Amino acid sequence: MTIERIEHPTPPPGNMDAMLDALASQGWYEWPQALSPKLCQQLLQESEAYARADKLAPAGIGRGSIHQRNAEIRRDKIRWLDGKSLAQTQFLQQMAQMKDTLNQAFFLGLFEYEAHFARYEQGDFYKKHLDSFKGRANRMVTTVVYLNPDWQADWGGELVIWPRVSDLTDAANEPPDASTIEQPLARILPEMGKMVVFLSEDFPHEVLPTQHPRVSIAGWFRCNTSLGGIVDPAH
């Protein structure tokens, strides 16, 4: 009997070092197999159970008192992670390690990670936005983990990453010509196990309308912007 090793055309798995290099040089990173398939399956099952039990809520925009729903901007339904299941615990542990690694590499002073499941039904989208605004330093690093097995390239639902805001401001001082028409930096398929990481204040991004249900966990490493010892509340 001969055993042949089948070569799968899978993308390189990526790793933490490559992530740090990419964040330093370009500010974002696409990490194709960041989470184990087993953990992804468990997280997906959990999120499907929430969807069936109607335990996902329409997402809003803004924080605290300026939080509002706006279906013109985003249509996904979400549920914040509470760390109560084994799968969530494992995921949050992995993210806590990543937080330590980011702090050691960049002295970012990240102190917390907040994350929610997000589900986009057919036709849902999230228009171009920033996750955090300069000067209001709070959300520093965005992560999005995708939980969609066998995602097809023609199903829409890509995450589109646009050029850095600072690069845009420079371009705005130049007279417009064809070469300054904005092109996306990346169009990323929401494939199971993939994690996208980017600097929250720097990169406008959007979720294109999806043709199939699309499940992800969006999360943010935050630094503490509390005043007078009052901890700035999460979400």
In the complex, the residues that contact ligand OGA under the rule CB under 6 A are 118, 126, 131, 144, 159, 205, 207, 216, 218
Minimum CB distance to Mn ion smaller for 23 or for 42: 23
* H helix intervals, the chain: 16-25, 37-52, 86-106, 165-172
Looking at 124, 131, 158, 206, which residue binds Mn ion (CB under 5 A)? Answer: 131
Q: Considering the complex, what minimum distance in angstroms separates the CB of residue 105 from ligand OGA?
A: 23
Q: How far is the CB of 217 from ligand OGA (least distance, A)?
A: 9
Nearer to ligand OGA, 99 or 205 (CB): 205
Least distance to ligand OGA, CB of residue 206, Å? 7
Tell me the residue length of the chain: 235
Classified as helix, coil or strand, 145 is strand
Containing H/E element for 172?
Answer: helix 165-172
Name the binder of 207 from Mn ion, ligand OGA, none, CB < 5-8 A by kind. Answer: ligand OGA
Q: Is 76 in the site for Mn ion (CB under 5 A)?
A: no
Q: Residue 41 CB: number of other CB atoms within 10 A?
A: 16
Longest dimension (CA), the chain: 72
Binding site partner of 144, from ligand OGA, Mn ion, none, Cβ cut-off 5-8 A by kind: ligand OGA
Nearer to ligand OGA, 39 or 203 (CB): 203
- Contact predicate 73/207, CB 8 Å: no
DSSP string, 84-110: -SHHHHHHHHHHHHHHHHHHHHH---E
Residues at the site binding Mn ion, with contacts judged by CB under 5 A: 131
